[in-house]
């Protein structure tokens, strides 16, 4: 048996079409949604991601600003820019691409972003609202993961979901969103004993550990939905997920590829968040 492929690229295209329509309508009413992306330094992966975000803004009709700052930027300079963007009326979403250079304290930068413009969903106010189940801007990658699971047609309610990885940007928020969808959630991490045995109980398996090809077929329950959040650049220049795709697809019912899986969805959810933030800031949602 071989799994059905969940194409994040295709799902993204469908969602982006409807976002573009809404952006056009808002623009005609004089409320064009705007996103500011801030990139500090020259991290090669970040440069690719930021370029893809900029491209998505243009394709969908958003107003977009990209601020590319030198690797030597001081914390004060970055905080001054965030403050300016917080007050700028044509900007509804602010994203400071992580990781930041060593001289800058990431937490103080995230804390400085106005929560209503925090389209990454990383500000403590948004994290807290997610935890409680109140309205918030959801972190992009976790929101994309849920969307991809829903597109399989497999219902989440009542299922056992196993999440491998406990980071603040993926593992923890994904587990909260899965609970909100009425899954029973188990979290695994680097210190988990008998991880394969636990993972094999998951009707849904979400993998976000940052180790290339670590999760093979022995971790996959037959028929499971496998979502690979990993994005690892191999020595040969190729991209690999955290899941050993060739081995896992022999057991999974559905599986996401890398690239073309979660990555494009991360960007689509960013666009969706920016649209939502703009509507809220204009009193339209
Ligand atoms: N929102 N996302 C947000 N904020 C951050 O601070 N670091 C970070 C972040 N992560 C991020 O941007 N991730 C991401 C990952 C993959 C893609 C885009 C964004 C992406 O476009 N992936 C493509 C392939 C890209 C490539 O060729 O390298 C894909 O198909 O998966």
What are the tens digits of pLDDT across the range 61-115?
A: 999 999 999 999 999 999 999 999 999 999 999 999 999 999 999 999 999 999 9
Estimate to the nearest angstrom the gap between the alpha carbon of 131 and the chain centroid.
Answer: 17
165 and 98, same domain (yes or no): no
Residue 134 included in any domain: no
Estimate to the nearest angstrom the gap between the alpha carbon of 256 and the chain centroid.
Answer: 14
Residue 273 included in any domain: no
Q: How many CB atoms lie within 10 A of CB 193?
A: 7
Q: How far apart are CA 144 and CA 264, in angstroms?
A: 9
In the reported structure, the alpha carbon of residue 195 is separated from the centroid of ligand 1 by a whole-number distance in angstroms of 27
| pLDDT at residue number 96 | 98
189 and 257, same domain (yes or no): yes
Which tens digits make up the pLDDT trace of 178-189?
999 999 999 999
CATH number of the domain to which 34 belongs: 3.40.50.10860
Token pair in block for residue 13:
């295209």
Residue 208 included in any domain: yes
In the reported structure, the alpha carbon of residue 200 is separated from the centroid of ligand 1 by a whole-number distance in angstroms of 28
89 and 156, same domain (yes or no): no
101 and 174, same domain (yes or no): no
Q: Going residue by residue through the chain (285 aa), what tens digit of pLDDT does each one get?
A: 799 999 999 999 999 999 999 999 999 999 999 999 999 999 999 999 999 999 999 999 999 999 999 999 999 999 999 999 999 999 999 999 999 999 999 999 999 999 999 999 999 999 999 999 999 999 999 999 999 999 999 999 999 999 999 999 999 999 999 999 999 999 999 999 999 999 999 999 999 999 999 999 999 999 999 999 999 999 999 999 999 999 999 999 999 999 999 999 999 999 999 999 999 999 999
Q: Is 97 a catalytic residue?
A: yes
Residue 130 included in any domain: no
Residue 220 included in any domain: yes
182 and 100, same domain (yes or no): no
Give the sign of the dihedral formed by CA 217, CA 220, CA 221, CA 224: negative
Name which residue sits closest to atom 19 of ligand 1, judged by CA: 49
In the reported structure, the alpha carbon of residue 90 is separated from the centroid of ligand 1 by a whole-number distance in angstroms of 25
Selected catalytic residue, list 9, 29, 47, 53: 53
Query: Measuring from each residue's beta carbon to the nearest atom of ligand 1, which residues come in under 6 Å?
Result: 48-49, 52, 95, 97-98, 120, 140, 231, 239, 258-260, 263-264, 266-267, 270
170 and 218, same domain (yes or no): yes
Residue 236 included in any domain: yes
* Calculated CA dihedral for residues 16, 161, 216, 46, nearest 10 degrees: 40
- Among 49, 78, 113, the domain-final residue is 113
Residue 154 included in any domain: yes
Residue 10 included in any domain: no
CATH number of the domain to which 237 belongs: 3.40.50.720
Q: How many CB atoms lie within 10 A of CB 63?
A: 18
Q: Is 10 a catalytic residue?
A: no
Provide φ and ψ at 108, rounded to 5°. -65, -30
Count: domains in the chain: 2
102 and 150, same domain (yes or no): no
186 and 104, same domain (yes or no): no
93 and 162, same domain (yes or no): no
Could you list the residue range(s) of the whole structural domain that residue 109 is in?
Answer: 30-113
Selected catalytic residue, list 117, 118, 120, 249: 120
Q: How far apart are CA 262 and CA 186, in angstroms?
A: 21
81 and 181, same domain (yes or no): no
In the reported structure, the alpha carbon of residue 100 is separated from the centroid of ligand 1 by a whole-number distance in angstroms of 15
80 and 144, same domain (yes or no): no
164 and 254, same domain (yes or no): yes
């Amino acid at each position: 048996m071989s799994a059905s492929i969940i194409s994040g690229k295709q799902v993204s295209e469908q969602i982006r079409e409807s976002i573009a329509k809404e952006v056009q309508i808002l623009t005609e009413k004089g409320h064009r949604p705007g996103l500011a992306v801030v990139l500090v330094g020259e991290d090669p992966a970040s440069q690719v991601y930021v370029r893809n975000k900029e491209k998505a803004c243009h394709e969908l009709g958003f107003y977009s600003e990209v601020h590319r700052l030198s690797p030597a930027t001081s914390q004060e300079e970055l905080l001054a820019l965030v403050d300016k963007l917080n007050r700028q009326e044509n900007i509804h979403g602010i994203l400071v691409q992580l990781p930041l250079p060593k001289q800058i304290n990431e937490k103080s930068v995230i804390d400085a972003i106005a929560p209503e413009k925090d389209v990454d969903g990383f500000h403590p106010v948004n994290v807290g609202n997610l935890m409680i189940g109140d309205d918030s801007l959801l972190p992009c990658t976790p929101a994309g993961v849920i969307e991809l699971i829903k597109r399989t047609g497999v219902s989440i309610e009542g299922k056992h979901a196993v999440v491998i990885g406990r980071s603040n940007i993926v593992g923890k928020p994904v587990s909260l969103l899965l609970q909100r969808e009425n899954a029973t959630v188990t979290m695994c991490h680097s210190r988990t004993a008998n991880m394969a045995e636990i993972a094999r109980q998951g009707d849904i398996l979400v993998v976000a550990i940052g180790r290339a090809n670590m999760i093979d077929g022995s971790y996959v329950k037959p028929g499971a939905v496998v979502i690979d959040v990993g994005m690892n650049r191999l020595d040969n220049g190729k991209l690999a997920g955290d899941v050993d795709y060739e081995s896992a697809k022999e057991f999974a019912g559905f599986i996401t590829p890398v690239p073309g899986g979660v990555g494009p969805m991360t960007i689509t959810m960013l666009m969706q968040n920016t649209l939502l933030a703009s509507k809220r800031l204009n009193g339209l949602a």
